[in-house]
């Protein structure tokens, strides 16, 4: 047999091995890898399975807190100050002071006691009762430690929480936080003040959840139990969970609920990179996925988008607000659009 014939045989054998290997892997259940709603990709460019366990020194924490404070505090003052105030109204009007009557003043606001005492007409001045309570329901499950770009979802989440918190205290509102996974991880009661906000940012940066799963319904039920008065509640999560319709409906009757859904581009657009070993960050289950198969990629995307569709439908049905944010896009623009829509 000449060299050409030997080369053809070798190529044939290599092709046969490749085909057989692929078929065996498929039979072992590669294409079913997406059925369970996998929430992270184990690949060096996309995911570090130990990232949520990395230790951060106190000096690094303070440095990160300061960086986030500078960035988000500026945003809250320069961009969101008026929008936040207008989007979220106070509880009513309260008496502020009296002043002399001016042409055009509503005669119904005349203070007759002061007018009779002084001999000149005076009117009552009212101002909005501004103090509100803002609650941040923060998802700290393992799926938040995923990112295919410059930032993990957890890092974008931290900045969004900081912007909302600074916007709240700039308007003299209280801010509280509920950290949740598939259990309540920590509750920080609502308070005012810069030191309180910095504590919240520090917790967001260095928080280590005890559990890895997600239970949004449980978090909403806990909100109702610990906060009896009406509040503005932001639920910040990737919403990779279902079955929270009833708790959301009950919570929305008492609170002004806004869901902020964080999505990484790779969660809705699986690339064709051949055989890929993926791991569900919340269950720890690892499987092979044949991303060369269009059917597998489409099923993966369909599963991921089903969470987004459920989020949109359920929140809209409950009368709650929604904000969708891609981690590779500006969350500032998304929040601005939401605030402007609320003001209309």
Predicted pLDDT of residue 331: 92
* pLDDT at residue 67 in the model: 83
Digit-coded pLDDT (tens) for 37-90 = 344 433 333 344 444 445 667 778 778 888 888 888 777 776 566 666 566 655
Closest-CA residue to 234 (of 176, 186, 194, 309): 176
Ordered per-residue pLDDT tens for the chain, 344 residues: 555 455 555 555 555 555 455 444 444 443 333 333 344 433 333 344 444 445 667 778 778 888 888 888 777 776 566 666 566 655 555 556 788 888 888 888 888 888 898 899 988 876 555 578 999 999 999 999 888 888 999 999 999 999 999 988 888 889 999 999 999 999 999 999 989 999 999 999 989 999 999 999 999 999 999 998 889 999 999 999 999 999 999 999 999 999 999 999 988 888 888 888 888 888 888 888 888 999 989 998 899 899 999 999 999 999 999 999 999 999 989 998 888 888 76
**Distance between CA 333 and CA 325 in Å, rounded?**
9
Tens digit of each residue's pLDDT (9 = 90 or more) over 188-212: 999 999 899 999 999 999 899 999 9
List the structure tokens of 164. Answer: 């909302």
Phi, psi for 157 (deg, rounded to 5): -55, -45
Which residues make Cβ contacts (< 8 Å) with residue 253, sequence separation at least 6?
A: none
């Amino acid at each position: 047999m000449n060299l050409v014939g030997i080369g053809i045989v070798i190529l044939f054998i290599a092709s046969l091995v490749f085909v057989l290997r692929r078929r065996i892997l498929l039979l072992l259940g590669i294409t079913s890898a997406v059925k369970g709603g996998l929430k992270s990709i184990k690949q060096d460019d996309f995911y570090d399975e130990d990232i949520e366990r990395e230790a951060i020194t106190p000096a690094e924490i303070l440095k990160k807190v300061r960086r986030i404070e500078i960035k988000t505090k500026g945003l809250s003052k320069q961009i969101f100050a008026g929008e936040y105030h207008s989007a979220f109204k106070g509880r009513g009007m309260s008496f502020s002071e009296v002043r002399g009557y001016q042409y055009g003043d509503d005669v119904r606001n005349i203070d007759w006691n002061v007018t009779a005492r002084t001999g000149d007409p005076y009117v009552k001045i009212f101002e909005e009762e501004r103090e509100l309570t803002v609650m941040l329901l923060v998802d700290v499950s393992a799926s938040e430690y995923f990112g295919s770009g410059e930032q993990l979802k957890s890092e974008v989440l931290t900045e969004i929480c900081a912007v909302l918190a600074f916007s709240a205290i700039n308007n003299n509102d209280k801010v509280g936080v509920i950290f949740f996974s598939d259990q309540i991880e920590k509750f920080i009661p609502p308070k005012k003040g810069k030191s309180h906000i910095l504590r919240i940012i520090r917790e967001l940066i260095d928080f280590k959840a005890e559990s890895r799963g997600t239970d949004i319904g449980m978090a909403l039920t806990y909100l109702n139990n610990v906060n009896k008065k009406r509040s503005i509640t932001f639920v910040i999560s990737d919403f990779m969970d279902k079955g929270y319709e009833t708790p959301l409906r009950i919570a929305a009757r008492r609170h002004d609920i806004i869901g902020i859904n964080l999505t990484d581009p790779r969660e809705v657009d699986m690339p064709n990179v051949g055989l890929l070993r993926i791991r569900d960050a919340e269950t720890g289950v690892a499987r092979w996925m044949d991303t060369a198969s269009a059917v597998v990629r489409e099923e993966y995307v369909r599963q991921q988008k089903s969470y987004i569709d459920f989020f949109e439908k359920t929140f809209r049905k409950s009368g709650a607000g929604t904000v969708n944010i891609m981690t590779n896009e500006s969350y500032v623009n998304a929040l601005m659009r939401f605030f402007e829509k609320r003001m209309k």
